[in-house]
Amino acid sequence: MNTEIYSTNPCPVCGETDPDCFRIWFDGHLKLFRCHTCSFISAFPSPGKSSVIYDYSDLYNLDFAKNGQKFMYPERENALTDIAGRIKKIIKTGDLLDVGCGDGQFLYRCSVTGFNCKGVEESKILSDYASKVTKSDVICGKYVKDMFPPQSFDIITLVQVLEHIQDPGNALEAAHYHLRENGIIVIEVPSVNSPHFLAYRLTGLQKFVKNSNGVIYSHVGYHKPKTIMNLTGRHGFVKILLVTGRWQYKYSGFLRLTGRGIDPALNLFGIGGILYMGRKK
């Protein structure tokens, strides 16, 4: 069940409070708004207007497991292995918390890579499954500050999670509180600078951002490198790396081969999904 609330909060990225700074950016399968102060694109209409809150507690099912799959998105394996490998280059071992761990696919990858893992997941079905399949502690609930004592972890990861959270600043504040000195935060999010959004902006044709591959109902916001830098900087993190694209890890077949050639260019121009790694200040 989803809830509609009237938001009195400022822009979740830059803190803008002036309702005149928010304009409609996309009016199609759903409405997206742009904060003109920081250029964040989101379902957040502006302070004083209503927005929809998604409830993940009873969402999802285990059909993938009935079909013999260990995880829901096996095609994500290369991208997740890439992220775990990049963490390992910075810190060899330590306590890792995966926020919004879903069915536990990334948690499992991190355990195998040698980290001591815990997870948080809103969906009861998925948190039970993740706990069973990864043999890690997985707490069912919304990620909040009072969930763990301060300085409990060396690494906190939010992989394809921040775009679903109504107030990403709260999640980053909690992560900052739960990380030890020099702790690492890892964020992977879809980008408003992805090829389908760029095609839409060039042509105005909504088919480029149809629900299946572009504007997704449960996404609260769409970042670009600038807004991720803004958001993480505001919550006490310093960039270690920010890469975009990573097609060679995300796709198979032709696109994977293409990725090897064009990933450096996608990264140079900030095109495609974003992977950010930062250190607690």
Task: Give the residues lining the site for Zn ion (CB under 5 A).
Answer: 11, 13-14, 16, 35, 37-38, 40
The continuous run of DSSP H or E covering 195 comes out as helix 195-203
Rank residues 36 and 86 by Cβ distance to Zn ion and give the closer one. 36
> Minimum distance from CB of 15 to Zn ion (Å)?
7
Rank residues 13 and 266 by Cβ distance to Zn ion and give the closer one. 13
> Minimum distance from CB of 242 to Zn ion (Å)?
19
Per the CB < 8 A criterion, the answer to whether 45 and 21 are in contact is no
Rank residues 14 and 130 by Cβ distance to Zn ion and give the closer one. 14
Task: Kindly list the distances between the CA atom of residue 223 and the CA atoms of 5, 18, 117, 206, 259, in Å, as whole numbers in the listed order.
Answer: 22, 20, 27, 19, 21
To the nearest 10 degrees (0 to 180), the angle between helices 225-234 and 168-178 is: 50
Rounded to whole angstroms, the maximal C-alpha distance in the chain is: 51
> Minimum distance from CB of 201 to Zn ion (Å)?
19
Per the CB < 8 A criterion, the answer to whether 95 and 152 are in contact is yes
> Minimum distance from CB of 231 to Zn ion (Å)?
9
Rank residues 82 and 173 by Cβ distance to Zn ion and give the closer one. 173
> Minimum distance from CB of 16 to Zn ion (Å)?
4
Rank residues 171 and 243 by Cβ distance to Zn ion and give the closer one. 171
| Cβ partners under 8 Å of residue 37, min gap 6 | 11, 14, 16, 18, 21
35 phi and psi, to 5 degrees?
A: -80, 115
